[in-house]
Amino acid sequence: MSSKNFDYIFVRQTLWSFVFYKMFLSLIHFNFQHPYAFLFRKEINGWDRDRVKGFLQTVLGLGGNVIDVIYDQEVSGKAFLHLNEEQLTRDPSPYRLKYGPASAIAELVEQIKG
């Protein structure tokens, strides 16, 4: 598989995840207690670190060091759903993120988990 083909597939999957996420949020009106929320959590559990990276870049607009730290720690979808603010900001920890991005990530995880 060529690099160009891989990039196209990755971008398509990331955009589809974002579209699905936005449609899902509007469908349940930001209420992740809805019974269908499990389906989205189940999908995220299967993500690799590339999908998590693309999701955070697309949904939260994160980039730079924050994305590099999450990616370098090999945060998969399952690990992503276990992240919390304390874990992301604690020093020492593998993350040591600033409060703003850590708070945004933790809030997103909590919304998804319900």
CA angle 39/44/49 to nearest 5° reads: 170
pLDDT at 25: 58
Q: Which residue has the higher pLDDT, 54 or 39?
A: 54
Whether residue 48 contacts residue 90, with contact meaning beta carbons closer than 8 Å, is answered with no
The mean pLDDT value for 54-79 works out to 93
Q: Is the pLDDT of residue 27 over 60?
A: no
Q: Does residue 35 have a cis bond before it (omega within 30 degrees)?
A: no
pLDDT confidence of residue 41: 83
28 pLDDT more than 50: no
Residues 67-106 have pLDDT tens digits of 999 999 999 999 999 999 999 999 998 999 999 999 999 9
Determine the Cα–Cα distance for residues 63 and 70; give it in Å rounded to an integer: 10
CA triplet 21, 71, 37: central angle to 5 degrees? 25
DSSP 46: T
Q: Which CATH architecture has domain 3-113?
A: Orthogonal Bundle (1.10)
Q: Could you state, in order of their start, the residue ranges of all structural domains in the chain?
A: 3-113
